[in-house]
Amino acid sequence: MRHLLNITDLSVDEVEALLNTASDIEANPEKYARAMEGKKLATLFFEPSTRTRLSFEAAMYELGGHVIGFAGAGSSSAAKGESVKDTIRTVGCYADIIAMRHPLEGAPWAAVQCAQVPVINAGDGGHQHPTQTLADLMTLKKEKGRLDHLKVGVCGDLRFGRTVHSLMEALSRYPGNEFVLISPRELRVPGNLLVDLTEAGVSYHETESLEEEIGSLDALYMTRIQQERFFSVEEYLRLKDSYILDEEKMRLAAKDMIVMHPLPRVNEIDVKVDSDPRACYFKQVMYGKIMRKALILKLMAETGLQPRPGRVLITTGKQCKNPRCISSTEQGLEPLFYPVHQVMRHGQLTRIPTKYVCAYCDMEQV
Ligand code: CP
């Protein structure tokens, strides 16, 4: 089987092929209308969703297939204490492919350890959301005409915003891209992702000011402050209005800058911006369904599990320190780690003793 857990499970060439398939699906939807006839997609959503679940389901129906699943942990046997692995093993008896969203980080990596059918990560906690990235890449390709040499501002909750993590990993593989990381100090990008950017030779800087940066951007990727990931209500209330993109700020932006947002939004983009031709977030929604159609076709046609590249995994005899990591709750899941050696903040390279990062949730063990 072939799974999609992290966007880097797909090579750059494979992403290109998916974009080409998506363009063909968009132009000739009838050509694909029976491609999944007799096949079933299971949507296992242990956490709320509108776009991801419904776009996967619409995609499968439009490919001629069927859909089974649940839209909340409370309506599955997870509410009785069933493990992720047992759920996946069970659903593999009913469905040909699984799209799974789970609040615990790394849950899809546990799932594939016993999966009999392809598993797609439809979002795991504050960690990764690779199929949103497929939607985002199609948006950039369509609206900016390229995936390279882009200056992309990502703004808001960069700590818990899983879509940002996947997007940065994807865009760092194309030449000439540059990131402006706009967030409060408390919600900065996790250090291990900055290490990845540094090792990939990607230019970036961290800032707290949207106004100072917006004028130089090709694309601005706004994100919601992720209330559900906060440990403290007071901290959320203090940070929730950190950034609000309004008409006044849009006047500072280039005429051809595009505004993206994975949605749902709360108040971080004023609804008056919706009528600005640079607002692309509802186009992202449509592109998301088309890319998920292309992805289902690809995974159903392929064999050969590809492990995440370049990681040597070890055991340390310790548990992951992230209370939201799947390895802290799932029975029989061996804690695994990979080493990192440096962290970059504010352009200063700081060498630190070897740290270990959890192979499931990618959290540094400090
Ligand atoms: N972008 C996204 O993941 O939206 P949903 O939470 O509605 O699926």
pLDDT over threshold 80, residue 350: no
Mean pLDDT, residues 166-191 taken together: 96
**Residues 233, 207 share a domain:** yes
Tell me which DSSP letter residue 188 carries: P
What percentage of the chain reaches a pLDDT higher than 70? 94
pLDDT over threshold 70, residue 164: yes
**Residues 66, 82 share a domain:** yes
Token readout for 230 is 């906060």
Give me ligand 1 centre to Cα 123, in Å: 8
Mean pLDDT, residues 118-135 taken together: 97
User: Nearest 5 degrees, angle CA 106-CA 109-CA 114?
Assistant: 140
pLDDT over threshold 80, residue 261: yes
Last residue of a domain, one of 284, 318, 333: 284
Pairing of strands 364-365, 348-358: antiparallel
**CA dihedral over 340, 341, 344, 347, signed as positive or negative:** negative
Last residue of a domain, one of 229, 254, 284: 284
The amino acid at 137: L
> pLDDT tens digits for 190-245?
988 998 898 889 999 999 999 999 999 999 999 999 888 888 889 889 989 899 99
Mean pLDDT, residues 161-166 taken together: 96
- Mean pLDDT across the chain, nearest whole number? 93
Instruction: Match 């919706």 to its residue by tokens.
Output: 274
**Residues 156, 117 share a domain:** no
From the list 78, 141, 11, 153, the residue with the least C-alpha distance to 326 is 78
> pLDDT tens digits for 277-326?
999 999 999 999 999 999 999 999 986 545 455 578 899 889 999 999 99
Please tell me the total count of domains within the chain.
Answer: 2
**129 vs 120: CA distance, rounded Å:** 10
List Cα–Cα distances, 284 to 95, 132, 139, 276, in angstroms: 28, 9, 6, 15
**Residues 192, 139 share a domain:** yes
Domain range for 261 is 130-284
351 domain residue, yes or no: no
**Residues 239, 138 share a domain:** yes
Find out whether the beta carbon of 126 lies less than 6 Å from any atom of ligand 1. no
**5 vs 12: CA distance, rounded Å:** 15
**Residues 15, 57 share a domain:** yes
- 247-257 residues labelled b (16+ CB within 10 A) or e (exposed): eebbeebeeeb
**150 vs 179: CA distance, rounded Å:** 8
Find out whether the beta carbon of 343 lies less than 6 Å from any atom of ligand 1. no
358 domain residue, yes or no: no
From the list 137, 148, 68, the residue with the least C-alpha distance to 100 is 68
Closest residue CA from atom 6 of ligand 1: 49
Find out whether the beta carbon of 55 lies less than 6 Å from any atom of ligand 1. no
Of the ranges 115-129, 180-194, 262-276, 335-349, which one carries the lowest mean pLDDT score? 335-349
Which pLDDT value is given to residue 310?
59
**320 vs 127: CA distance, rounded Å:** 14
